[in-house]
Amino acid sequence: MRGERMSLYAQVIVDVPTMQTNKPYTYLVPSELEEQIQAGMRCVVPFGKGSRKIQGFVLDVSNQKPDEDFEIKKIISLMDFVPVLNEEALQLADWMANYTFSFKISCLQTMLPNVMRAGYEKSIRLLDENVEPEIKKLFDQNNLLAFDDKMDAKIRRKIYGLRKKDKVEIVYHVNDRARVKETEFIKSKITAENISAFLNAQRKTATKKKRMLEKLLDLGNDSVERIKFQKQNSFTSNDVKQAENSGWLSLVSKETYRNPSENATTESSSPRKLTAEQNVCVTRINQAIEQEESDVFLLQGVTGSGKTEVYLQTIAHALKLSKKALMLVPEISLTPQMVRRVKGRFGPKVAMLHSALSDGERFDEWRRIERGEAQVVVGARSAVFAPLDRIGIIIMDEEHETSYKQDEMPRYNAREVAIWRGKHHHCPVVLGSATPSLESRARGQKSVYQRLLLTKRINGRPMPHVELVDMREALKSAPSPDFSAELLTKIKEHLKRDEQVVLMLNRRGYSSFVMCRECGFVLKCPNCDISLTLHMDTHSMKCHYCGHEESIPRICPSCRSNKIRYYGTGTQKVEEQLHELLPNARVLRMDVDTTRRKGAHERLLERFGRHEADILLGTQMIAKGLDFPDVTLVGVLNADTALGLPDFRSSEKTFQLLTQVSGRAGRADKNGEVVIQTFNKEHYAIQFACTQEYERFYAYEMQLRHRLGYPPYYFTIKITASYDNEADACRKMYEIRRELSQVLSKSAKILGPTPKAIMRVNNRYYYQIVIEYKKEPRLEEYLQDLLVRSQTDEPKGLKLIIDRDPISFM
């Protein structure tokens, strides 16, 4: 057949900010792009009546003309030369969108580094210059004006008026912020032959130029970074520019990676000798790597039992089989210590993805991985999407950590994504923890996961001795409201021996709230249903939900009395008490307030590690992953704060936290001691944490969960609706409840609608429903539909959240 040219059609997921579907749109591939276009590329397409330019992802390319009859528009351009997402990523996005009830477009975006996500820019072009001079002067010489949300409302209204009269048009731009870093290099043109000619042409006093010629001669054939060359020889950039003009050198730009760990010291570390228990684990996992089995292992090992060494040696095994490895750790444990240990073992093969990286650095690490230049990827939650091929093993440390679940769309849990990828790559997934989540432990029970145990600490040290202090008793004779006599004595003892102490407090701020003793008035946030927290460092009252800040009242705003008092406890207040009780002790305070700035967290820990302080006082963040040999005493000031919360996981969280923080005591050659102060001495979570009996806690908690119909016995989905007024939020949820009762079988439970524990946050009102079920074939379809439908109410102020396997019911 002659001249029978087949047209190419692309299935594209479009990124329209206000309207999202999981349905791909069909676009015609213009002939000049037919050669280049591939699934996984980003493109710019016209959309809607105004054919404004938006970003899209190409899912598929084929000759198949769609059956239905609609206008088919042409792809405008491709944003990539090679696909940014491979076949695996596209499949994963499919699964994720369905599983997490989110839009495919947000799943695709989530897999890419920030800089590759589309930014839309609007600008206005003046078409008719015959307008008010006041308006005309806003436009630049190209008759363009940037159009963003910062624009003055009055001007905005005028612009809209002009647009109606066709005097201006709105131009859309799809931006790709991904930039490859270019570095300038110097290539010398000076040789032993030509240098004398140049030298002779200079005046006698031109010492700098002569020096330049000599340095350039020294370079020979090597090229050198311009910045380095200038710095080392104290030339200015102008000197180099002049030399270039004289034809002494040429400047070449080369693509380089931003190197975030350039100045990090890494000493190489070699594999450590394994204990018998570790050896069993490593052997089993290595076998699975070799046989390409997608088993999930639950590596349950007490603190200090050497889980990390098991990870490192199994990774090494995967590398030996020329496979790659993915290792996930909670953000908080991505400390320099940890980075050093992994980099020390695998050197330049490692790519790190953590939140301290700038967008550019993250993009560069991503490209290194994508090009196959890194074989080991270590990172927090989103690193689970690292574009690795040939994965031989996936490791998730501290698998019970709730930070693996993203708390915005798409609400994925990195653990589930890791297991999905394990299946896709036919490789084992290792979930490690001292205190596994009940879900994972239960799957281990049913042999869905293979359990691996590390019951002994590596150097044979006993577990730290844990003492419970009943604060109801202790307060009668306590030296201060937050310190029992027992704890204070212990602190003094350990400090006397020049050892370090870690104190954990379950709350931040100075004192949790301010109350009037005369009338009982409590100062509350004007935007949220929560009392304000006192912060002594800034001398203000802050809301921990919306950030509202106001000054500390001297007289009660309600009854005008001056009997206003502080109640509760916070890290700042405890710090002051410590200074009074132990004036000579050096205290480091670590909480959200002192670690807000980038790297502050690491710097504080390093200072403590160098023994620049005796006591580290902090909130929960100090429970994770820090490992200091001189810490021999851990004190928990208030073990119970989480227990009072109306949440089915509060016992589990409390147990995990106490076990973890206890593990911080006495890791090296010194015995550790732990003192836990509590008002609920008899509570099982506290009792079992005290004796470090995970298995007994697990058994007890499972009974409770079974009786109450909670996970892991039931699946749960939480639906939350919020509006700027309570009535609408409430009404929407009753409507959803009505629909749900049509869809669900008798065996499913619908809890609610109820207002959230903190119903109003930032002047939005939240209502929620929790569904508990075993098998509901129609539920998924209903929720997908609800997700799409609810968009129509978004302009009216609705925000709807569907959260599968919610972390909490609060």
Partner DNA sequence: AGCACGCCGACT
Partner DNA sequence: GTCGGCGTGCTC
Cβ proximity to DNA, 582 vs 736, nearer residue: 736
Shortest CB 172 distance to DNA, Å: 8
| Residue 285 CA from chain centroid, whole number | 28
Cβ proximity to DNA, 603 vs 789, nearer residue: 789
Shortest CB 164 distance to DNA, Å: 8
Residues 518-537 that bind DNA (CB under 7 A): none
Binding site feature residues: 516, 519, 525, 528, 543, 546, 556, 559
Shortest CB 800 distance to DNA, Å: 16
Handedness of CA 779, 785, 791, 796 (dihedral sign): negative
Residues 789-808 that bind DNA (CB under 7 A): 792, 795
Shortest CB 14 distance to DNA, Å: 8
Q: How far apart are CA 531 and CA 667, in angstroms?
A: 40
Do residues 572 and 594 lie in contact, with contact meaning Cβ atoms separated by under 8 Å? no
Residue whose C-alpha is closest to residue 464's, from 706, 710, 670: 670
Among 16, 138, 356, 757, binds DNA (CB under 7 A): 16
Q: How far apart are CA 603 and CA 196, in angstroms?
A: 53
One symbol per residue from 753 to 792: x for binding DNA (CB under 7 A), - otherwise; what is it?
---------------------------------------x
Among 39, 131, 151, 170, binds DNA (CB under 7 A): 170
Cβ proximity to DNA, 20 vs 660, nearer residue: 20
Residues 38-77 that bind DNA (CB under 7 A): 46-52, 66, 68, 70-73
Shortest CB 540 distance to DNA, Å: 35
Is cis: bond before 330, omega within 30 of 0? no
CB atoms within 10 A of CB 412: 26
Interaction of residue 25 with DNA, rule CB under 7 A: yes
Taking CB under 7 A as the binding criterion, the range among 10-18, 192-200, 330-338, 478-486 that sits at the site for DNA is 10-18
Cβ proximity to DNA, 70 vs 81, nearer residue: 70
- Measured at the CA of 304, the angle between CA 302 and CA 307, to 5 degrees, comes to 75
Do residues 374 and 351 lie in contact, with contact meaning Cβ atoms separated by under 8 Å? yes
Shortest CB 59 distance to DNA, Å: 12
Among 8, 15, 27, 369, binds DNA (CB under 7 A): 27
Taking CB under 7 A as the binding criterion, the range among 23-31, 253-261, 667-675, 711-719 that sits at the site for DNA is 23-31
Q: How far apart are CA 592 and CA 597, in angstroms?
A: 9
| Residue 226 CA from chain centroid, whole number | 36
Length, in residues, of the chain: 810
Shortest CB 687 distance to DNA, Å: 54
Which phi-psi region, left, alpha or beta, contains residue 277 (left: φ > 0; alpha: ψ -120 to 50)? alpha
How many amino acids of this chain bind DNA (CB under 7 A)? Answer: 25
Q: How far apart are CA 394 and CA 695, in angstroms?
A: 26
- Tokens 């009854």 correspond to what residue? 559
Residues 442-471 that bind DNA (CB under 7 A): none
Q: For strand 119-126 and strand 144-147, is the pairing parallel, antiparallel, or unpaired? A: antiparallel
Do residues 689 and 662 lie in contact, with contact meaning Cβ atoms separated by under 8 Å? yes
Interaction of residue 559 with DNA, rule CB under 7 A: no
- Tokens 């609705």 correspond to what residue? 798
- Tokens 């213009």 correspond to what residue? 30
Among 19, 180, 201, 264, binds DNA (CB under 7 A): 19
Q: Phi and psi of 322, rounded to 5°?
A: 45, 45
One symbol per residue from 72 to 111: x for binding DNA (CB under 7 A), - otherwise; what is it?
xx--------------------------------------
Interaction of residue 600 with DNA, rule CB under 7 A: no
User: Given 3-state DSSP classes, what are the helix, strand and coil percentages for the chain, each rounded to the nearest 5?
Assistant: 35, 25, 40
Cα→Cα distances 60→8, 40, 105, 174, 300, Å: 10, 8, 15, 21, 43
Shortest CB 713 distance to DNA, Å: 40
Among 28, 251, 321, 356, binds DNA (CB under 7 A): 28
Cβ proximity to DNA, 59 vs 783, nearer residue: 59
Cβ proximity to DNA, 321 vs 786, nearer residue: 786
Cβ proximity to DNA, 16 vs 751, nearer residue: 16
Cβ proximity to DNA, 104 vs 307, nearer residue: 104
Do residues 752 and 718 lie in contact, with contact meaning Cβ atoms separated by under 8 Å? no
Binding site feature residues for Zn(2+): 516, 519, 525, 528, 543, 546, 556, 559
- Measured at the CA of 162, the angle between CA 158 and CA 164, to 5 degrees, comes to 120
Cβ proximity to DNA, 123 vs 143, nearer residue: 123
Cβ proximity to DNA, 160 vs 567, nearer residue: 160
Residues 311-350 that bind DNA (CB under 7 A): none
| Residue 808 CA from chain centroid, whole number | 18
Among 22, 26, 223, 540, binds DNA (CB under 7 A): 26
Q: How far apart are CA 759 and CA 749, in angstroms?
A: 22
Cβ proximity to DNA, 43 vs 458, nearer residue: 43
Shortest CB 8 distance to DNA, Å: 13
Q: How far apart are CA 389 and CA 381, in angstroms?
A: 18
Q: How far apart are CA 797 and CA 724, in angstroms?
A: 7
Residues making contact with DNA (CB under 7 A): 16-19, 21, 25-28, 46-52, 66, 68, 70-73, 170, 792, 795
